[in-house]
Amino acid sequence: MLGTQLVQDLSDYGFSVTAASRSFVARSQLAGVSYLSGDLRDESFVLRIFEDRFDHVIQCAGVKTSAGSAWFSSRTVGDPIRINSLCLDYAAKSGVSRFFLLSSTTIYPTMDSPCVEDKGFDKDPDPAYLSTGWMYRLLEKLARDTSIRSKLGVTIIRPTNIYGPYDNFLGPNSQVIPALIKTFSESSQPYVVWGDGTQIRDFVYVKDVSRAVVDLLIRDHLDGPFNIGSGIGTRIRELASIIASLFHVPESSIVYDSSKPINVMYRVADITYAKQKIGFLPTYSLRHGLEETVQWYLQSLR
């Protein structure tokens, strides 16, 4: 999702772009962009990537999890560690100038106020995100250590809940927005939403995240970390209401199931630091971003 948007934005900006992924959606491929297909867990593929000379590397590959997926597995924790360690190592060896690490706000401990960057290593991560939170903490430390031991500049970005076109709308790893879009797009009542709807999350549209990354890339190097989100807490009940309205579904048809897992009750990012350093402010309201996402999803079904 984010990689596809970044390829588009970087290409539009005039950069020469190479994209590496296990697979590519045909409609997302752009003229003038080089595409390499392979598995970033495979060291021989990573070595092949870095046979070329790159100035910047933006590492977006990872494993999505949700309240309905396993909280720990060799894939959800082990794969991101292997992918990032290989990419960091070969980026440093090949003379890359700057490496952008996409971390996560799951690194933060339990908080009832917006997360500030300097709280990222206070206490343990929230119990709901304990393994993934520590995994991202390890990746940030690994990136910092690689930077110290080489000439590789590292920028750490901590996005909140990203949503938008090319998200995962199927399977147990589908997160709340794509899951709700799929639910409300289907003509089956009642429409079940996990939890009681009082959980609060920070949702940020993929185009705003991509713009923040590009803004960081075109400036002189900044280490971060940078929280990138909306800075606004939205209750799941409000989110469900907006998405339902886009499908003309009455709220009376929505049922909240408190027996289902919900992860943390509150997670919002403080984006003051990104605003101060790069002038970051989201340009998409939640409703606007959802409208574009729903439109894309419906077109993808045709």
- Contact partners, residue 51, CB within 8 Å, separation at least 6: none
Question: pLDDT, tens digit, for every residue of 194-226?
Answer: 889 999 999 999 999 999 999 999 999 999 999
For the whole model, what pTM was predicted? 0.93
Question: pLDDT, tens digit, for every residue of 33-63?
Answer: 999 999 999 999 999 999 999 999 999 997 7
Question: pLDDT, tens digit, for every residue of 212-264?
Answer: 999 999 999 999 999 999 999 999 999 999 999 999 999 888 999 888 877 78
Rounded to whole angstroms, the Cα distance separating 265 from 248 reads 28
Where are the alpha helices (H) located in 159-278, listed in sequence order? Answer: 176-185, 206-217, 236-246, 272-278
Q: How confident is the model at residue 71 (pLDDT cuts 50, 70, 90)?
A: low
- Name the CATH superfamily, with its identifier, for domain 2-166+203-231+267-284: NAD(P)-binding Rossmann-like Domain (3.40.50.720)
Residue 201's closest CA among 247, 151, 242, 147? 242
Residue 59's closest CA among 90, 25, 24? 90
Q: Which of 60-69, 109-118, 161-170, 283-292 has the lowest mean pLDDT?
A: 60-69
Strand partners, 34: 18
Residue 165 pLDDT > 60: yes
Find where tokens 């350093």 sit: 277
> What ranges do the domains of the chain cover?
2-166+203-231+267-284
Q: Are strands 234-235 and 200-201 parallel, antiparallel or unpaired?
A: antiparallel
The secondary element (H helix, E strand) that includes residue 261 is none
Strand partners, 200: 235, 266
Q: How confident is the model at residue 70 (pLDDT cuts 50, 70, 90)?
A: very low
